[in-house]
A and B are shown apart, each in its own frame.
Chain A
Amino acid sequence: MMVPLLFGITVISFGVMHLAPGEPIDIATDLNPKATKEMKERLRKYYGLDRPLHVQYFDWVQKVVVLDFGDSFSPDGKPVLTKIKESLPKTIIINVLSMAVIFFLAIPIGIMSATHQYSLIDKLTTVFVFIGFATPTFWLAILLMILFGVKLGILPISGWSSLYTANFTTAQKFIDVSKHLVLPIFISSFGGLAGISRYMRGNMLEVIRQDYILTARAKGLKERVVIYKHALRNALLPVITIIGFSIPALIGGSVIFETIFAIPGMGMLFYTSVMSRDYPVIMGILVIGAILTLIGNLVADISYAFADPRIRHE
């Protein structure tokens, strides 16, 4: 099932990409007095853009099945996979860390809001996570940069590491990178708290009202055991689905976020490729994203079955 699905995705992506006006060569030739018609034709031929679309597509497919995503159309001419490899680790590190922070904070917040429904703490955390959800990241990022970077001078403003790290020990390098990551991870998790914590709260409330919780309480179990052993387990089930769906999101970067912090990740790579109509890179990222989405769905299904006996038996 996955193979034809993937095939369909590539056909549509390829088609849509070529439907967009403009070509990879435009960036060098648009409004450029030195770029004559012959030069444009020459460039189109160089990149194989003069061939019919289906020929270009099958040529591309033939290479992709042996995992050759081709070379970028940008002047550095690097293989697509190299370009992705350059950007991917940073995006993954940031996404994994911020996702960990989100789950680490959002699940307890959700539980607490549910068990203390309509209490002060429920209301406070609700306000807090919604503020996080509603705050424009770029604005908050700049405020924090001014505070911690310029005024207090304790955190670096942007980038991945300091300029001079050659003489650093591994530990120092680790600290250096960690310092650079504090603001980005704070910003990206702050906005994500609301979703998961509200979701968790909803699940928990639903589970708590179930008969088996009543039974557990009736058995005289301690409230702690009731909540964390019996209720939590069941309330966490839907969260597994979310984790599965988050797998493709691990390689997706945010353009705004990466731009502000000058961290070169997948968001910027994809954005610049689209703007310069760098077809091979666009297709490469789309295909990898599609594969990961399909895998994510599969993982979610499998782990769900693993965690929930009801599904396994059906």
Chain B
Amino acid sequence: MNRIIRRILLVVMLSLVITSCGNKDGAGDKAAIPADKKVDYKPAYGDTIVMGSIGDISGLIPHITSDGSSQEIGSYIYNGLVRYDKNLNIEGELAESWDISEDGLKITFYLRKGVLWHDGELFTADDVLFTYKFMVDPDTPTAYAGDFLMVKSVEVKDLYTIEVTYDEPFAPALISLGIWILPKHLMEGKTLKTTSLATQPVGTGPFKFKQWLPKEKIVLVANDNYFEGRPYIDKIINRIIPDTATMFLELQSGGIDFMGLDPVQYTKQTGSAKFNEKFNKYKYLANGYTYMGFNLTNDKFKDKRVRQAIDYSINKEAIIKGVLFGLGRVATGPYKPETWFHNSAVKKYPYNPKKAKLLLAESGWKDTNDDGILDKAGKPFEFTIITNQGNDVRRKVCEIIQAQLKQVGIKVEIRIYEWATFINEFVNKKKFEALVLGWGLSRDPDAYDIWHSSKTKEGELNFVTYKNKEVDEMLEKGRTTFDQEERKKYYYKFQEILAEEVPYVFLYVAEALPVISSRFQEIEPAPSGITHNFIKWYVPKELQVYKE
């Protein structure tokens, strides 16, 4: 389920996007380590990894939580039927294999045999059925039932075979069954208040739950019977340190081994030889992008040329340099570069204020009264950008955009609102002219909820009110087709249209910047991030720190 929810998780709401620590997905790129640092070590069991996290988990049943920390802890305890491998292809986890029927309506899973729950009970198809029922139960307070309400039926064929049937083909169906499976024997007949899982989760994953001291730490220990082999590291301690400056000091003093850096820390404060001897830094593109969206019902933005002109007048490279210290990449569409569905050949809008002015003049915006601000029919070109409070990066982005648009003669005001006000009063009610916000990115290209014209009602996610028949068609076809090559065509086309029409000015994809104590070996950056082989990480005997 980690993988499912990750793809829809918002770019962290109240905290800085880039300081969130749990961002471990994405393509890897290790910062240079001198070759002479490599020593031949032997894998050994033992030691503890202490991770720093800015937020506490909100609960131990990750199916009903929506925060990144809970999902991350869940990912060590639970398994799903399928998961993404390090190259972002779907592979079996609790399912050994599966068949998809010709019409795409039925998926049959053949489960791994002999997998044990942490309490020693046997994992079977009944647990899968139970998890499905749990998710669609009206009494389960989850925001993620949507994918499962599309299921027509789930049938247990035998102990290790289960069949899921849909009313219509649904491409993201397979990965939606990466939902973490819950143990039926501990949950059945109990409510969320009475079940022991709420205080003592039991999964099939590589680590077992040991302790949760709210707002202090979470302790997990290695599962000796994990079906893919026992993890080398004995223990995970997830320490909650809400202040990033404190966390960084803890890292330097050895109090934690693993955290996410922010761009300032990455570029300015971690350069010393001493630091690089003790720690390894990594970077890879995070699963999310930041954009400026137009309210397309606003007359000012109805003309495509105006939107294109604004795109030309915003220097994305300058934004990346200014707020991310260069640790990010220009976004050209709603997908992360390096994924199979990302189309890099779409129309791009490099910084070009001259062209912007030309386009604006074409659409009737000229500075007739010489006050430095364009006008049309007596009205100056000015608008307000809104964003949420508590995100310094977004605020700075707004300020840079404000300065850059001033150059072409557009006056921009900035308003910053507390999150709940921002969403309820402005975004949901579409009371804005333009906004700066981020989307968490999916590993599946289905973007129906954000771009389809049927999703423009109040409170829905197409709050910019983008309506395009061709886009609708591409999105519909894309989510009902299983063949990857064919899907790719639809989504390529979709990206071309968006690039031409500019409903958003796509700004950047930031980089995740994890840092890990150099005593941990076998860390292997891959397109999916660095934690895909976490159970293989080890600390050689001679470097182990925590011995009990």
Contacts and interface: CB of A to CB of B under 8 A. Distances in A.
A75 B139 contact: no
A259 B242 contact: yes
B66 A32 contact: yes
Contacts of B237: 163
A26 B548 contact: no
B43 interface: no
A259 B240 CA distance: 10
A21 B421 contact: yes
Given A35-B143, A264-B214, A150 B245 contact: no
A176 interface: no
Contacts of A153: 253
Interface in A93-127: none
B198 A33 contact: no
Contacts of A39: 142-143, 145-146
Given A22-B424, A149-B253, A34 B65 contact: no
Nearest to A44: B141
Chain A interface size, as a band, is 35 or more
Contacts of B65: 28, 75
A142 interface: yes
B156 interface: no
Contacts of B252: 150
A21 B417 CA distance: 11
B64 A75 contact: yes
Interface string A19-60: 011100111111111111101101100110000000000000
A166 B548 contact: yes
Contacts of B145: 39, 42
A88 interface: no
Contact of B239 (A74, A149, A262, A277): A262
Contact of A34 (B144, B217, B250, B437): B144
B403 interface: no
Contacts of A269: 215
Given A158-B255, A262-B240, A76 B60 contact: yes
A197 interface: no
A232 interface: no
Interface string A129-173: 000000000000010011001100100111110011011000000
Residue picked from A29, A75, A258, A264, most chain B C-beta under 10 Å: A75
A31 B10 contact: yes
Contacts of B50: 163
A298 interface: no
A68 B225 CA distance: 43
Contacts of B61: 75
Given A30-B13, A76-B60, A261 B423 contact: no
B70 A75 contact: yes
Given A157-B249, A158-B255, A163-B50, A30 B240 contact: no
B369 interface: no
B37 to A, nearest CB: 23
Given A166-B548, A259-B242, A29 B143 contact: yes
B249 A142 contact: yes
Contacts of A146: 249
B450 interface: yes
A157 B449 contact: no
16 contacts: A21-B420, A27-B13, A28-B65, A30-B10, A31-B423, A34-B449, A39-B142, A42-B138, A76-B198, A77-B192, A150-B253, A163-B217, A262-B216, A264-B215, A275-B14, A277-B420
Interface of A: 20-22, 25-37, 39-40, 42-43, 46-47, 71, 74-77, 83, 86-87, 142, 145-146, 149-150, 153, 156-160, 163-164, 166-167, 258-262, 264, 268-269, 275, 277
Across chains A and B, which 8 residue pairs bring their CB atoms closest together, nearest first? Answer: A22-B420, A264-B215, A75-B59, A33-B449, A35-B143, A28-B66, A76-B59, A28-B143
Given A35-B144, A150-B253, A163-B239, 12 more contacts: A32-B8, A34-B143, A34-B144, A39-B146, A47-B141, A76-B198, A77-B192, A86-B214, A158-B246, A163-B48, A264-B214, A269-B215
